[in-house]
Chain A
Amino acid sequence: MKQLLIFCLLVWLFINYGNCIEHDSSVVINLKHALSGGPNPVFKDRGTITIPSLRLSQAVVHQKRLTDVERIQIQKLANDNDLYRINATVIANDEIERSFISTIKACMLAEAELDDRLSVSVDYMGRVIGVSLVIASKATCEGSNVSIDKLGEFTTNVYVRHTETGIIPDTATYIDKLQKEKEAKERDDHKDNRSFLAKYWIYIVPVVIVMVISSATNPEAQGGGQ
């Protein structure tokens, strides 16, 4: 239950970049991890990830449960505030091997109870350019001691992340906008196509009447004076 809550809280918002790679291909990733820590890590097998179609971005994850020794090693790494490193060997369709390393804080891995995410970035041609291990977390480490029972199995989510197609200047919408403006102006002009008198006669007529009346009264007064 708690795990589910955490999962809900930390929504991993990988934006789906859309299927824009040129050639679809499959990829096999051999994952190795270093549980020994220290400056010279010794990588041991962790599992295999098969991505049958990069375009569909779905992955088949094959990882063994950890042995007790391995659990203790991870716990020790976490307690020592050491680094947890993986080495991912990517074998693409064309049999070209590329090797990537990625590092996270071991304590974060332990606190997340081995719930990690693997980001596989591909370029526009579908070549893998980077493999990174990420823990979804709001803060680095809280320093809590995670019991060994919770460090049973990696629940890895794999995200294939495509390169977005480059944006181009949006001239069509702008021209459209200008066109609409022009039309609106024309329509306005059309509506108000009446003459000045026709438009404002309601204001002009009272003024004229007042003037006529006043000029009609004035000559009389003048005349009376004479």
Chain B
Amino acid sequence: MANFRSIYKIQIFLTILVHVTLALYEDQVGKFDWKLSFVGKVKFVSLEAKRIIVATEENVLASLNLKNGDIHWRQVLEDPKDYKLELLHVNKEIVTVSGKENTWFVRTWDLNTGTILTEWFINTERTVPSLFTIVNEKLLHIVPIRGLQVEITSYTLANAENTNGSILKGISRKIPAAWLNKDSDCVPAKSYIVCAVSSKLYYVDLLKENSMFVSQSLADLVDNSAGKVLLIEYKQDVPSVLLLKNNIAKLGTFNGENIQIKPFNLMPNAISISNNGKDLIYQLEANDNKNKLIKVKAKDPQTGLDSFSLDLEYPLGLGAPIILGGQSKGSVTDLLLSTTDDALLLVRLPEGKILWTREEALSSVVASEFFELPISELDASIEHEFDSANDILEMFSHRISTQIKQFYNLVFGNNLLQNSGLVRDEFGLHKIIVVATRAGKLFALDTLTGSIVWSYRLPNVQSFIGIDNEEKMLLLVQRTAQYAPLPAHCVLLAQDTITGNGILFEFDPITGYSKAGIQRLNYKIVQATLLPYQDKNFLKPMLVLSQDEQAHVYPTQAVSLIKDHFSTMFLYVADTENSRLSGYTLKYSTEDSLQVTPSWNVDLAPSKLIAVSAKPANEHVHSQGKVLYDRSVFYKYVNPNLLAVATMTSDPIYNSVLSVYLIDGVTGLIIYGTSHKKARGPIHLVHSENWLVYTFFNERFRRNEVVALELYEGHWQNNNIAFSSFALSQLPQVQSQAYILPSIPQTMAVTLTERGITNKFLIIALTTGAIIEIPWMFLQPRFTNMPCGPEESCIPYMPEIPLHSEATINYNQTLSGIHGIEVAPARLESTSHVLIHGLDIFYTRVAPSKTFDVLKEDFDHVLIVLVLTGLIVATLATKKLAARKALKQAWK
């Protein structure tokens, strides 16, 4: 009885103990963390005097400050995977339409605060692509139905306030349009709908009652040459449209039943900006001047004559721009540009100066990696003192010069550090984060400030589509910065947008310098991995497997280095289409030809492969065993080749079944398998040391569950010198335990430290925007029939994981659209770097076992010096006194 109570008390105490240390003091906010907020690639824009209202591909509605581009407010709508923003209209209020297939939400927002005012939805029976436009405060929903008609439903926005949240009744109207086919292209132009079908242009004025489509031959309107005519929306007071053929646009304006084509050519990205009732056409053109590649032109809408032309100070690193929108006020015109690499920039005319740039590519990070900074030149010269030769004189002069430099730095301060700042600090807390984005742009971020150190744009590059449609690129670190004077070396693997072939980009992650530039490979990449061997330049070779099962090694000359290791080189490939995992060996390779031979396979069909997780390659397992209550050791099963695989099976009885398998990546042996019935994804796997944690949604109990699996070899260790997947005398014992997670996880990761001594924390991103850390100790499966208490450093089992608000590492900085978590060790054993990316990028440091290896900030150095000197003085004094006393005693 008393035992239970004490257990409970201890439990509470432990919980408090673990958590109290996590919380942040108020004055620590922003001290070692930072957050960058993004809106995503801008789709629609509206400039409203001092602010810019943007609607983006990431389904975000935001208001930006015109002066500096800062986010004034931001509203994140539904998941962009399902829902798309279809319309943005700003009058007194903002109106948005976002939805999918046949369901759309119509929302109105307050312009100043971004608060939602009304919301109602449109539901149709047909799932055909449709258009939305707003004319005279009426929302028109236009559904073109192939071979039949165009259905137009008009909703009066003013009525919307009364019918908040329900379906608003619209007035429908059908206009026969039997000519509509799958190639037809329709755009709204004020009250008109304009459609281009093969050789004819159809248009109709919707405001007129009983109006019918008027047709015109396209050959009469634009030139007679071959090519398809595309329609582009063109916004101005007079209903008009751009007719694009062979990259030349013509402006057509409607007047009653007539269309007038202006006699001049325009660029496809031309827009109209009105200033005091006078319209001007603005467009961007390529420039011959090599330093200023882009020029902006303003044309008169009647004559097409240039009224203004200016070469832009366009930065080199950005992609090709288009004009999204603009506004004129007096002599000043602001143009908002969007580039192919998703950047957003504001140009102010007539100076042509770029006021600000927002790198929206960072809102979709597909790969990230932390890099240690190089040591300073001085430290490097000290380190290399004995490298050079056996020449004593040379070594002597080297030492003298180094020490002079050292002395100089001591006296005058280290100017090198002040100059670049990109020098390694003592604890490895200052790092560079390299991120690859979906738009194919690489960025390096500074961990101290979050500022962009460099960026590099890779044209025509896209990410791989991985398991469960996850977009991914690969960043492989071939050499870190610790081999000064050799620079760090990193490789990005992605695929070509056009051919789908592999792309290899080698660069120095600290400076962003690339000697070879982009290398386009002539094969599709299936798998790639770093090999654990180093050549004489400390470069780790990279092995790439192509779709036709050919292996390639980069750098190519490294084959001679790895030729002795072919028999211990294995690869695995996960085929999501056929739900197969296959293993390959390189044993039969020779230096001249790399031979990939199949060695095992696992066939999971008809289940769907939804996640595969290998352990982090740079992980160290410090403790090989767990000490039990009777002081015996239970050895961990630490198999570096272990893969965790999750599959989902549709089942007639259980709806869907989640299976998790642990498979040896070398032999293909299924070490363990477990299945959860009535489970639903998304599932998240975290695989580390000798354990696996996964989360899923339990449909039966309607809750999220977390399962922890831990593998042990038992009381004796099998193979204590080197691990071999082939030598297996005993299957590992699997301990498992399940928990309820009282929240919805979005993604998960585990902390990683330099030596693996520090406790492990799970870092879970929740859909609420909070990032919480949970000690692994909370989840670690308890041994049955063994006592569990503080003496065994074991927390008694609780079925529900407590989520304390103190465990939120991003305190009040809510993060939206979290996509991934990247963790890297600092040189300080206690600390891990954490980067959370998504619509926001958040960086912080976590110390799972507190910062046991650093003195506290408020440590009193003066006091300890005083105490020590006092003690020394006292020792000396008492020694003297003692000696005098002894002398006196002797005389007695």
| A-to-B contact residues, CB < 8 Å | 10-15, 38-39, 81, 83, 85, 98, 100-105, 108, 119, 121, 123-125, 128-130, 132, 134-140, 161-171, 173-174, 177, 180-181, 184-185, 187-188
| The 7 nearest A-B residue pairs measured at CB | A166-B676, A184-B1, A39-B588, A163-B673, A121-B670, A103-B599, A124-B675
B607: contacting residue among A123, A128, A167, A171, CB under 8 A: A123
A184: contacting residue among B4, B649, B724, B738, CB under 8 A: B4
Contacts A129-B602, A167-B738, A169-B740 given: A180-B567 contact, CB under 8 Å?
no
* 22 pairs, A vs B, C-beta closer than 8 Å: A12-B730, A100-B601, A101-B600, A102-B599, A103-B583, A103-B668, A123-B673, A129-B604, A129-B673, A130-B602, A130-B663, A136-B728, A137-B728, A138-B719, A161-B673, A164-B672, A166-B658, A166-B679, A168-B738, A169-B738, A169-B799, A184-B2
Are A138 and B670 within 8 A (Cβ)? Answer: no
Contacts of A83 in B (CB 8 A): 585, 587, 599
State the Cβ distance, B653 to closest chain A Cβ, in Å.
Answer: 8
Are A165 and B601 within 8 A (Cβ)? Answer: no
Are B727 and A103 within 8 A (Cβ)? Answer: no
In the complex the two chains form, what is the Cα distance from A125 to B673 in whole Å?
13
Are A167 and B707 within 8 A (Cβ)? Answer: yes
In the complex the two chains form, what is the Cα distance from A139 to B724 in whole Å?
8
* Max chain A C-beta neighbours (<10 A), residue from B649, B659, B705: B659
Contacts of A124 in B (CB 8 A): 649, 657, 659, 675, 677
Contacts of A136 in B (CB 8 A): 728-730
Contacts of B567 in A (CB 8 A): 81
State the Cβ distance, A19 to closest chain B Cβ, in Å.
Answer: 14
**Range of interface residues on B (Cβ < 8 Å):** 35 or more
Contacts of A39 in B (CB 8 A): 588, 595, 597
Contacts of B588 in A (CB 8 A): 38-39
In the complex the two chains form, what is the Cα distance from A124 to B669 in whole Å?
17
Are B799 and A135 within 8 A (Cβ)? Answer: no
Are A14 and B587 within 8 A (Cβ)? Answer: no
* Max chain B C-beta neighbours (<10 A), residue from A11, A38, A124, A177: A124
Contacts of B37 in A (CB 8 A): none
In the complex the two chains form, what is the Cα distance from A177 to B289 in whole Å?
80
In the complex the two chains form, what is the Cα distance from A177 to B677 in whole Å?
27
Are B719 and A134 within 8 A (Cβ)? Answer: no
Contacts A166-B676, A174-B798 given: A14-B726 contact, CB under 8 Å?
no
7 additional contacts, CB 8 Å, given A132-B600, A177-B4?
Answer: A101-B601, A105-B726, A132-B669, A132-B670, A137-B729, A138-B727, A164-B673
Q: Which residue of B lies closest to A117 (CB)?
A: B728
State the Cβ distance, A14 to closest chain B Cβ, in Å.
Answer: 6
Are B731 and A14 within 8 A (Cβ)? Answer: yes
Contacts of A132 in B (CB 8 A): 600, 667-670
In the complex the two chains form, what is the Cα distance from A216 to B670 in whole Å?
89
State the Cβ distance, B599 to closest chain A Cβ, in Å.
Answer: 4
Are B670 and A161 within 8 A (Cβ)? Answer: yes
* Max chain A C-beta neighbours (<10 A), residue from B2, B5, B731: B731
Q: Which residue of B lies closest to A159 (CB)?
A: B731
In the complex the two chains form, what is the Cα distance from A29 to B450 in whole Å?
59
Contacts of B673 in A (CB 8 A): 121, 123, 129, 161-164
B727: contacting residue among A12, A139, A174, CB under 8 A: A139
Are A165 and B799 within 8 A (Cβ)? Answer: no
State the Cβ distance, A21 to closest chain B Cβ, in Å.
Answer: 10
Contacts of B799 in A (CB 8 A): 169-171, 174
Contacts of B679 in A (CB 8 A): 166
Contacts of B585 in A (CB 8 A): 83, 103
In the complex the two chains form, what is the Cα distance from A164 to B659 in whole Å?
9
Contacts of B733 in A (CB 8 A): 13, 15
In the complex the two chains form, what is the Cα distance from A121 to B600 in whole Å?
14
B670: contacting residue among A11, A103, A130, A177, CB under 8 A: A130
Tell me the dominant secondary structure on chain B's binding face. strand
| Number of CB contacts from chain A to chain B under 8 A | 165
State the Cβ distance, B306 to closest chain A Cβ, in Å.
Answer: 68
Are B657 and A138 within 8 A (Cβ)? Answer: no
In the complex the two chains form, what is the Cα distance from A207 to B522 in whole Å?
98
Are A134 and B724 within 8 A (Cβ)? Answer: no
Per-residue interface assignment for chain B, residues 646 to 674, with 1 indicating a CB less than 8 Å from any chain A CB and 0 otherwise: 00010100000111010100011110111
Tell me the dominant secondary structure on chain A's binding face. mixed
* Max chain B C-beta neighbours (<10 A), residue from A13, A123, A139, A162: A123
In the complex the two chains form, what is the Cα distance from A105 to B651 in whole Å?
39
Contacts of B602 in A (CB 8 A): 100, 129-130
Contacts of A163 in B (CB 8 A): 659, 661, 673-675
Q: Which residue of A lies closest to B667 (CB)?
A: A132
In the complex the two chains form, what is the Cα distance from A128 to B604 in whole Å?
9
Q: Which of B694-711 contact A (CB under 8 A)?
A: 698, 705, 707
Are A187 and B729 within 8 A (Cβ)? Answer: no
Are B724 and A140 within 8 A (Cβ)? Answer: yes
Per-residue interface assignment for chain B, residues 461 to 503, with 1 indicating a CB less than 8 Å from any chain A CB and 0 otherwise: 0000000000000000000000000000000000000000000
Per-residue interface assignment for chain B, residues 733 to 745, with 1 indicating a CB less than 8 Å from any chain A CB and 0 otherwise: 1101111100000
Contacts of A14 in B (CB 8 A): 731
* Max chain B C-beta neighbours (<10 A), residue from A15, A101, A187: A101
In the complex the two chains form, what is the Cα distance from A215 to B66 in whole Å?
89
Contacts of B532 in A (CB 8 A): none
Contacts A14-B731, A136-B729, A169-B738 given: A103-B675 contact, CB under 8 Å?
no
Q: Which residue of B lies closest to A85 (CB)?
A: B599
Q: Which of B299-323 contact A (CB under 8 A)?
A: none
State the Cβ distance, B778 to closest chain A Cβ, in Å.
Answer: 13
In the complex the two chains form, what is the Cα distance from A173 to B738 in whole Å?
13
Contacts of B730 in A (CB 8 A): 10-13, 136
B603: contacting residue among A129, A168, A181, CB under 8 A: A129
- Indicate whether B797 reaches chain A with its CB closer than 8 angstroms: yes
Q: Which residue of B lies closest to A13 (CB)?
A: B730
State the Cβ distance, A146 to closest chain B Cβ, in Å.
Answer: 17
Contacts of A129 in B (CB 8 A): 602-604, 661, 670, 673
Are A103 and B600 within 8 A (Cβ)? Answer: yes
In the complex the two chains form, what is the Cα distance from A10 to B719 in whole Å?
13
Per-residue interface assignment for chain B, residues 761 to 804, with 1 indicating a CB less than 8 Å from any chain A CB and 0 otherwise: 00000000000000000000000000000000000011110000
Are B675 and A123 within 8 A (Cβ)? Answer: yes
Contacts of B675 in A (CB 8 A): 123-124, 163-166
Contacts A38-B588, A130-B670 given: A166-B677 contact, CB under 8 Å?
yes
In the complex the two chains form, what is the Cα distance from A138 to B727 in whole Å?
5
Are B726 and A108 within 8 A (Cβ)? Answer: yes
* Max chain A C-beta neighbours (<10 A), residue from B705, B724, B739: B724
Are B669 and A134 within 8 A (Cβ)? Answer: yes
Q: Which residue of A lies closest to B670 (CB)?
A: A121
Contacts of B153 in A (CB 8 A): none
In the complex the two chains form, what is the Cα distance from A199 to B670 in whole Å?
65
Q: Which of B706-721 contact A (CB under 8 A)?
A: 707, 718-719
In the complex the two chains form, what is the Cα distance from A170 to B738 in whole Å?
7
Are B674 and A119 within 8 A (Cβ)? Answer: no
Q: Which residue of B lies closest to A41 (CB)?
A: B597
Contacts of B740 in A (CB 8 A): 169, 171
Contacts of B800 in A (CB 8 A): 169
Are A103 and B798 within 8 A (Cβ)? Answer: no
Are A181 and B5 within 8 A (Cβ)? Answer: yes
Are B603 and A166 within 8 A (Cβ)? Answer: no
* Max chain B C-beta neighbours (<10 A), residue from A100, A164, A177, A180: A164
- Indicate whether B8 reaches chain A with its CB closer than 8 angstroms: yes
Per-residue interface assignment for chain B, residues 543 to 583, with 1 indicating a CB less than 8 Å from any chain A CB and 0 otherwise: 00000000000000000000000010000000000000001
Q: Which residue of A lies closest to B666 (CB)?
A: A103
- Indicate whether B598 reaches chain A with its CB closer than 8 angstroms: yes
In the complex the two chains form, what is the Cα distance from A149 to B661 in whole Å?
40
Are A98 and B724 within 8 A (Cβ)? Answer: no
Are B672 and A169 within 8 A (Cβ)? Answer: no
In the complex the two chains form, what is the Cα distance from A165 to B659 in whole Å?
9
In the complex the two chains form, what is the Cα distance from A123 to B672 in whole Å?
11
Are A130 and B603 within 8 A (Cβ)? Answer: yes
